[in-house]
Amino acid sequence: MKNHSTIIANAKETILAESNAIANLANLINTDFENAVKCIIKSKGRVIVTGIGKSANIATKIVATFNSTGTPAIFMHAADAIHGDLGNVQKDDVVICISKSGNTPEIKVLVPLIKSYGNKIIAITGNIDSFLGKNSDFPLNTFVEKEACPNNLAPTTSTTAQLVMGDALAVCLLKLNDFTSKDFAKYHPGGALGKRLFLKVSDLTKNNLLPKVNVTDSITKVIIEISEKRLGVTAVLKEDKIVGIITDGDIRRMLSKTTEINHFTAKDIMGNNPKTILESAMAIEALDTLENNNITQILVVDDHHNYVGVVHLHDLIKEGIF
């Protein structure tokens, strides 16, 4: 069994080999890449991405990236394409063919068929002098000197290069289409990412209780209100308007100084000018406010500055935003 140092050395060697090959891709970008991007932008159809073997695996990821960044795309396996799936290709579609050698039998059958339909072909290949390279409209060179595999056989560096070329296409298209974070959110409504882009403060407060006391209320009532509402805080109101805030920390600090609390009222220990946030604000804004002010709760108000709730840091953690 290989020792610890050998394993680490092999891992580093693999990473460096692939990173050097990727860095060299920048030297292979030319006008064919620019024209390929322009071709996709001008197209009224979709992007069909095809390949076989490990290149097919890379194709599915490129399709996913295109779709999530505003470029409609579908995957078509090269072997299935010549056995019926070629019907996926419509008149205005642009086809991206991925193949390291560019000379696989399936590609040699598929490319002429696509060309006969009049569709433009973008090649992502490690051999631009191959059948695929020569018969494509826009050959994108992903040449690598060798695979990270010590036998120079298993697709490793070459598939990474294909993936990066796909990312380069997707990012260029994203920028040309002025694709924003709001657009991104449309395609990612689920999970933490979607919540960071869509979830509002009102979504966080709707299930929370509404702790509140008046400025003249006793400390006993304040303690009961904070305990019952379980948010570690209460708003202090005067004529239904927020004038202060009391946290459980304020209670502890008071009790550390005196236990004679009967003559105290909420006004005596409240913090003045508490931070507030609109219920229509995004949840991520609430998180920023909490972090920037080193606090764990913030009072929520409506458009008329009426007190409507509390957002606690725990609400943000529970939603996976923090």
Residue numbers in the known binding site for Zn(2+) are 77
Contacts of 242 (CB under 8 A, 6+ apart): 235, 236, 274, 276, 299, 301, 305, 307
State the SS3 of the chain. Answer: CCCHHHHHHHHHHHHHHHHHHHHHHHHHCCHHHHHHHHHHHHCCCCEEEEECCHHHHHHHHHHHHHHHCCCCEEEEEHHHHCCCHHHHCCCCCEEEEEECCCCCHHHHHHHHHHHHHCCCEEEEECCCCCHHHHHCCEEEECCCCCCCCCCCCCCCHHHHHHHHHHHHHHHHHHHHCCCCHHHHHHCCCCHHHHHHHHCEHHHHHCCCCCCEEECCCEHHHHHHHHHHHCCCEEEEEECCEEEEEEEHHHHHHHHHHCCCCCCCEHHHHCEECCCEEECCCEHHHHHHHHHHHCCCEEEEECCCCCEEEEEEHHHHHHCCCC
Strands 241-247, 271-272: parallel, antiparallel or unpaired by DSSP? antiparallel
Our CA angle for 311, 272, 215, nearest 5°, is 90
Contacts of 175 (CB under 8 A, 6+ apart): none
The binding site for substrate consists of 77, 83, 216, 268
The binding site consists of 77, 83, 216, 268
- Can you tell me the distance from the alpha carbon of 75 to that of 57, in angstroms, rounded to the nearest whole number? 10
Phi, psi of 121 (to 5 degrees): -120, 125
